[in-house]
Structure formats: structure tokens, C-alpha cells
Amino acid sequence: MRIEAIDVIAVRLPLRSPWHTTAGTLNGREVLLVRLRSDIGEGWGECAAFAEPGYSAEFVASARLVLRDHLAPRLLTPTEVTSTTASLLMAPVAGHRMAKSALEMAMIDAELRAEGRSFAESLGVTRTHVDAGVAIGFAGSPAELCDRIASYVDAGYRRVKLKIAPGRDLDYISAARDQFPALALQVDANGAYTVADIDHLAALDEFALLLVEQPFGDDDLVGHALLANRLRTPVCLDEPIVSVDTTASAVALGACDVVNLKAGRVGGYVAARAIHDWCVERNIPLWCGGMLETGLGRAANVALAALDGFTLPGDLSASARFYETDIVTDPIVVEHGGIAVPSGPGFGVELDLDLIERFRVA
Ligand code: MG
């Protein structure tokens, strides 16, 4: 395609309830959308970065700047570009994977719409539905947590992930496990512990968890390896998995039994596919993480998660889990514990331009 224009639009969607994590509390989701116009048509992408650099170094304002000054100019060339060559053109820009992923997404969407194919079809997935999973932020008490879990179990969710941190872990997990003995349960610490907590974390083995995600900091692969050696509960990595190389390093060290894959974090869906394939060849289980995406990013993630290597339920929930109003005309819904893989052209969702205008902040 020849790209004619790239618009970067910031919207702020109100959240139905505040999202409490170690990175702070979110009351709304500010998110960047990329609208790309080309000689083959239009496509849309979404940037996974949050407003604050809490999950990773990228944030909305940094992504806007790098998209405008460094990434978009490399793609606005008179020559032909494709979603598979885009990463090479953007490679001279170090890092900023979420910003790169947003541009790549818009290109994939435009290409597939022009071909009349769905993203799922282009990936070669055969599943028509994926299991829904939900992530729950910090609750005020174990009892409050159990009430929230009950509401999601009633809504059909088949797997629940709890955020944990020092002082907000064993009592909460124990209460959840007592009340829901058969529930598929896993925990995510977003790096809130250190290797000094290994003895404490060994108690996680009592709760028959699917996995413990990212107990230590992004850089502490050796610490994760020590913990994995101590625990029966599988250790899953999130934040440090940014490429095939970092995945291979973590696995070689014994630091990573399970991979949480997020396309934005690894620079896009092309890179995500490569990591998926690498893991499948080595029997490393995968699941698809989430970044409070709008219906656009959510639809893309559902298709990705339909790949065979995603053997565990992802953080794939209904739009309504976070948003009263989504910006797509057909928000993602959970039915009988599953989510239908979108089958329309591109990512299979239509953006509501009036809603985008209503929520636009820049
Ligand atoms: Mg995580």
C-alpha cells in the first residue's frame, strides 16, 4: 500500500469502576487510536500504552510523540509498504513497541479489508470461540474480592486472575480458593515482590493456581528462575517478554514456564505470531494478556488467542467488563463463557466515529 495519511486520535473512555493495581488507580482509559488512509483503503489500530508509565516505560504522551515525529514519517514514503515490511522500516527507532504495534495494526486492518479477509482467517485459526477470562484488580477485603469473583463466575467467566502484592495476597487467595474450590484461578503481581519473598511465595503452592505471573521485576530473570525451581505452581512472565530473544533467554534460564503474550508489548501482531510459533515448537503454554483494550484491540486479541498455542484462557473479557460505552458498533460479549472470534474483514469491528468524537481528548 501507499500510505496517504496517519491520524493519531486520543480518546478517554470512562471506566465502569476504578481499576486498582500496583501501578496506581485508573478511573478512565486514555487510549490512542491510529487511523490510516492509503491507496487500498482505511485501517484502524490501537496503542496499548496507558496514560501513565506504570506498566512499562511507554505512555500515551510518549507514544503520540514517537508516532508523530519518528514512526509515521518512516511509513509515509512514496514507496510501497506492507504490514510485514513495516517493522523493518520502524526498526531504527529503538523500543516504543506499543506505538509501533498501533501503526502495524492499522496497516493489517487496511490490507485485510482490501482483501475482504478477517484477521482470524489470515492467522489460519480454526477455533470459532475462545474461553473468556477476567482480571480483577485489588479489592478492599477478601470478602469483597469473593463477591466480585462470584459476579464474574455468574457471568460465565471460566478463569479468574487476581492481582496480588505484599500484604494483599495469601488471605485473599485463600478466601477465593475456599469459596471457589474448582475455579481456574491465577495471580499476577506485576513485579511487586523480590527474591527475598521466595519463602513467602512458596505458600502459593497450597492453592492449586494455574500460575503465578510476574512476581519479580522485569529485569530479574534469575530471581524468577530461583522461584520456578522452588514452586510447583508454574511461573509466568509478562513484562519482560518483548521479543523472541527475551522469551528464549527467559526459557533457557528456567525463569518462564508459561508466556503471557501481549501484541502491543512485543511490537505488534507479526512479532506476537513469531513468539507464539517459537513457544509452540518448544511446548511452552501461552495465553493472551490484555491492556484494557477498546473493542478494536479486544477483537484483535480474540483472533490471536484462537491460535492453537494459546492453551490457557486469556485476559479476554467483554467490553462491558470495563466500559459502559465502547467505541465499536459491536462490542465484544461473553456468552456461555466464550467469546466469538470476529469474522468480518480486517479486525472485524466497525468504529463508531460519533463516539470517538464524543470521547476524543486530542
Ligand atoms: Mg501481567
Q: What is the pLDDT of residues 197-212, one digit of tens each?
A: 999 999 999 999 999 9
- CA of 190 from ligand 1 middle (Å) equals 5
Residue 48 neighbours by CB distance under 10 Å = 27
How high is the pLDDT of residue 20? Answer: 87
Indicate which CATH number applies to the domain containing 265: 3.20.20.120
Q: Taking Cα atoms as reference points, which of 14, 10, 18, 16 lies closest to residue 29?
A: 14
Domain membership of residue 79 (yes or no) is yes
Task: Give distance in angstroms: CA of 163 to centre of ligand 1.
Answer: 8
Task: Point out the catalytic residue in the list 159, 262, 265, 321.
Answer: 262
The predicted-structure confidence for 71-97, as pLDDT tens digits, reads as follows 999 999 989 999 999 999 999 999 999
| Centre of ligand 1 from the C-alpha of residue 57, in Å | 15
% of the chain surpassing 90 pLDDT: 96
To the nearest whole number, what is the mean pLDDT of the chain?
Answer: 97
Q: Are residues 156 and 112 located together in one domain of the fold? A: no
Based on the domain organization, do 148 and 100 belong to the same domain?
Answer: no
pLDDT at 23: 80
* Distance between CA atoms of residues 290 and 317, nearest Å: 9
Catalytic residue among 35, 64, 97, 163: 163
Euclidean distance between the first and the last CA atom of the chain, given in angstroms as a whole number: 27
How many distinct structural domains can be found in the chain? Answer: 2
Grid cell of 293 as nine digits: 483494550
pTM, entire model: 0.97
Within this chain, do residues 240 and 277 fall inside the same structural domain, yes or no? yes
| Domain co-membership, 102 together with 149 | no
- Say how many Å lie between the CA of residue 311 and the centre of ligand 1: 17
Q: Quick one: 95 and 159 in the same domain? A: no
**At residue 220, does pLDDT exceed 90?**
yes
Q: What separation in Å is there between the alpha carbon of 60 and the centre of ligand 1?
A: 19
Please give the pLDDT value at position 158.
Answer: 87
Give the relative orientation of helices 142-154 and 170-179 as an angle to the nearest 10 degrees: 40
**Do the Cβ atoms of 149 and 136 come closer than 8 Å?**
yes
Average pLDDT of the residues in 295-312: 98
Instruction: Please say if 161 is a catalytic residue.
Output: no
Residue 100: active-site member = no
Predicted local confidence at residue 22, as pLDDT: 82
Condensed to tens digits (0 to 9), the pLDDT of residues 2-57 reads 999 999 999 999 999 999 888 888 899 999 999 999 999 999 999 999 999 999 99
- Biggest CA-to-CA distance, the chain: 62
* Mean per-residue pLDDT, 275-292: 98
Q: Ligand 1 center to residue 139 CA distance, Å?
A: 17
Residues 234 and 151 in one domain: yes
- Distance CA(98)–CA(348), nearest Å, equals 21
Within 8 A by CB and 6+ apart from 232, the residues are 205
Q: Write out the three cell numbers for 44.
A: 484502524
